[in-house]
Amino acid sequence: MGRLLLSLAATIPLVAFASFPLQMSVAEMAAAADHVLVVHVIGVDMVDRNGLPVLDDQARTGPGLNNVIRLHVAVDETLITTAERVPERLLVPLDPLMHYSLGQIRSVHQNDATLRLLLLKGTDFSILMPSIFFLPLQDKDEVLRAHEAAHR
C-alpha cells in the first residue's frame, strides 16, 4: 500500500504540470525572435482542424479538441525584423491545448487597445512556442538590449 501511495504521489507533479503553459525568459524570447513588433488586438476568431470558422462562443479548445483560437493583431510599429515587409495584420494562434472558450477570449479582448510587444520567428511570422509571444510594452528596452546581445 505504501508503494502505491508513493507511486501516485510521484506522478501528481507530472500530471499537474501537463496543463501549464511553457515559459521562456525575456532574454530567451528576444534571442529566439526574428521579429519584434508593437501590436494591438483587433479581433478574435476560432477555426476547426479543417480551417473552417467556428462561430459558437461556447466552443472550446483543449486536449482532444481540434479547435484553435486566433488573435487578429494590427502592427503599429516594427522594432526588429528580418523580413523585407511586415504584414499590417497578423493571426496569432493561442495554444490549442489550453482550456479556453471562444467567448471567453473574445470578452478579454473586446475593445482592447492595449499596445503589446509581439515576438515572432521565421518568414511565416510564427509564434516562438505555444502561448509565448506577447510581452508588455514596458519591456521594450530590455527586449531590444537582449536581442542585440544575442545577435552580435
Q: Which tens digits make up the pLDDT trace of 78-135? A: 999 999 999 999 999 999 999 999 999 999 999 899 999 999 999 999 999 888 899 9
Taking the model in full, what pTM does it have? 0.84
Give the position of cell 509581439: 118
> Which pLDDT score, from 0 to 100, does residue 131 have?
82
pLDDT, averaged across the chain = 88
Question: What's the CA gap between 13 and 116, in Å, rounded?
Answer: 33
Torsions phi, psi for 50 (to 5 deg): -95, 5
- Are the C-beta atoms of 21 and 95 separated by less than 8 Å? yes
What is the tens place of the pLDDT at every residue in 135-151?
999 999 999 999 999 99
Q: How far is CA 83 from the centre of its chain?
A: 20
What is the tens place of the pLDDT at every residue in 9-26?
443 443 444 445 568 899
